[in-house]
Amino acid sequence: MATTFTLISSVTVGSGGAANIEFTSIPATYTDLVVVASVRTDRALSNDEASVRINGSTSSIYTYRSIDGTGSGTQNNTETNTTRFRNLNVIPGANATASTFGNLEMYLPNYTGSNNKSISFNYTMENEATLSYIGMAAGLWGSNSAITSIELFPRIGPNFVQYSTAYLYGISNA
């Protein structure tokens, strides 16, 4: 059985930045979804995190467990939140090496199913001067609703900078 990725939507942040990147009206015609993003924020430090909200929900439970490494050690985190997935990845801020972007990939299987939604994340961030991260996380969105929108936004930011990009793919088994 072949698996087919179909680009549903893409966003490239223009000059002036953007407070979020949002995919709305996601069709229910695929088996799984993948979001691939390359982002950077204007936070006045070397790093920030990208947060994720599903269906605009600020009342469902978002939980995750992550592990990441910095080249000099590892750390793991567990969090439960009612407004979004947060602190689960690291991306460059304004003081990071110029023109570097952090990468994030989210895999959302069975996004139209009637059970809570499991999500996997992997990410990397490089600040050539002082810092790098690589990590992964497993998350659960505590809702049995079909996923119809996904929003990415900086944890602190306040904005993603110009040339940040995100792509939403639908996966079909055909």
Q: For 111-159, write each residue's pLDDT tens digit.
A: 999 999 999 999 888 776 667 778 898 999 999 999 999 999 998 889 9
Indicate the range of 17-21, 90-94, 163-167 predicted with least confidence. 90-94
User: Can you give the residue ranges of every domain in the chain?
Assistant: 5-173
Closest alpha carbon to 90 in 75, 68, 71 = 68
Contact 148, 44 (CB under 8 A): no
Domain 5-173 CATH assignment equals 3.30.1050:
no
Residue 163 pLDDT greater than 60, yes or no: yes
Q: Per-residue pLDDT averaged across 102-111, rounded?
A: 94
Give dist(CA 12, CA 161) in Å, integer: 10
Q: For 3-61, write each residue's pLDDT tens digit.
A: 789 999 999 999 999 999 999 999 999 999 999 999 999 998 888 888 899 999 988 88
Question: And the tokens for 143?
Answer: 């809702």
pTM for the predicted model, two decimal places? 0.91
Q: What is the pLDDT of residue 19?
A: 96
